[in-house]
Structure 1
Amino acid sequence: MTTTVNLSRIHFPVTTLGPGRRIGIWFQGCSIRCPGCISMDTWVHGRGATTIDQVVEAISPWLSTADGITISGGEPFDQRKALFELLKRLRARTTAGILVFTGYPWTTISEELPYLPSLIDAIVTGPFDIDEKQTLALRGSDNQELHLMTPLGRAQFERFDRPIDERDRTFDVMFDENGDVWLAGIPARGDFRRLRNILEGEGSTLRISEDTRFPSL
């Protein structure tokens, strides 16, 4: 019997969260809720209920052309059973590199990873820390760590073990059936607010999902 999972959204292609054209899968629900998070809309648990069967069916048309898969959230490790089943199903269908983002520290999840041989090629661990600098690729704050788990992970993601540069200052723009616009990527501090100010200066409005309790940003 397939496992239930709560998802925020899926999208293809995503080009800003790992190399190449990737399938993006965002889990819904987060117990960590880092101050200053850009995705408060993914915090609430219990939304977007579906099944792993339905997720795999939805992304199947993309698997043959995708260069990789990126799983983020929300917090994927808050739904461990669903995450692990999804990883097993994906690995059975593709040899593309799988990258996972988690807000949990490496010490919290590392004991579980040996039981997931070759299912995760690279993983970014650690909570977003608004007081840390942001100078490293694929990371929202410098306390976060990039772990290369497999030979494929090292081949594909070692290039991201470097300082951030202009290649990383891009976003994928997604539209859903409700007309909402989603941005995929890792913004610099205050990027969303600057975008909102620009649009409002032109007479438009923009509602952002960023945790805005920190006006100094």
Structure 2
Amino acid sequence: MTVAVSRIHFPVTTLGPGRRLGVWLQGCSLRCSGCISVDTWDGGFGQVTLDSLLEAVAVHAPEADGLTVSGGEPFEQPDALAALLLGWRQASDRSVFVFTGREFTDIEPWLERNPGLIDALMTGPFRSDLPQTLALRGSDNQRLHVLTPLGAEMAVFERLSTPSDRRMDVMFDEDGDVWMAGIPARADVARLRRSLHAAGHRASTSADKGLFAE
């Protein structure tokens, strides 16, 4: 089996409690207007073997406080997602938190076929026309579902957002591009771009392959 993967990173501190392993799957047909992860839409690249992905996960599992899976749209690779989470269960007893742009009813059949693989789930598409006042959400239509006792640790995010929720993890890839993990406030990326421009740097959004400065 192969899996389309955008990136994997440890530690991620902005997408759930603790120092988590983050896996971003590649490919999304939802293509929400205003999405900051346009680079994850195309499903035509990023293919790796499931074994190689599970090996990378196993390296970080002993240190990670949990696994967060995002994208892209994880449920566009339903079998690969199930295999990834089964591999995590073998490597760790820590929680699994998944972000999806689909509604809960759309993925209930997957959850019934794969009971206990996801501890907490954030559902719903990003809506740029709606407010963004809740923690760990890009827009307030998105819903947090605690599915297992282990997922109860996510209940702390069932609240209004605070400035600390808008922190970003920064990572560098092999090309020198800068990637940021987290859920920024609507104006944060534009404000960063203006600051970089004022300092004599150039920045572009993920529509132009990530957010980077040079």
Into which bin does the TM-score normalised by the smaller protein fall? over 0.9
Q: CA deviation at 1:10?
A: 0.3
- Residue 121 (structure 1) aligned to one of 80, 94, 119: 119
Q: CA deviation at 1:60?
A: 1.5
- Residue 28 (structure 1) aligned to one of 26, 29, 41: 26
Distance in 1 separating the partners of 2:53 and 2:168: 24
Contact 1:192 1:210 in 2 (8 A): no
For structure 2, list consecutive stretches of 5 or more residues without a partner in the other structure. 209-214
Map of 1:178 onto structure 2: 175
For structure 1, list consecutive stretches of 5 or more residues without a partner in the other structure. 212-217
Alignment of 1:1-217 (within 5 A): 3-154=1-152, 156-209=153-206
Contact 1:12 1:62 in 2 (8 A): yes
Local SS of the residue matching 1:111: helix
Distance in 1 separating the partners of 2:98 and 2:50: 17
Contact 1:14 1:24 in 2 (8 A): yes
- 1:150-172: CA deviations, max 9, x gaps? 00101x10111111012202000
- 1:71-91: CA deviations, max 9, x gaps? 000010011111111111111
Distance in 2 separating the partners of 1:135 and 1:107: 24
The one-letter amino acid of 1:69's match is L
Local SS of the residue matching 1:174: strand
Local SS of the residue matching 2:131: coil
Q: CA deviation at 1:190?
A: 2.1
The one-letter amino acid of 2:135's match is A
The one-letter amino acid of 1:204's match is H
Equivalences, count: 208
Local SS of the residue matching 2:68: strand
TM-score by length of 1: 0.93
RMSD (CA atoms): 1.1
TM-score by length of 2: 0.95
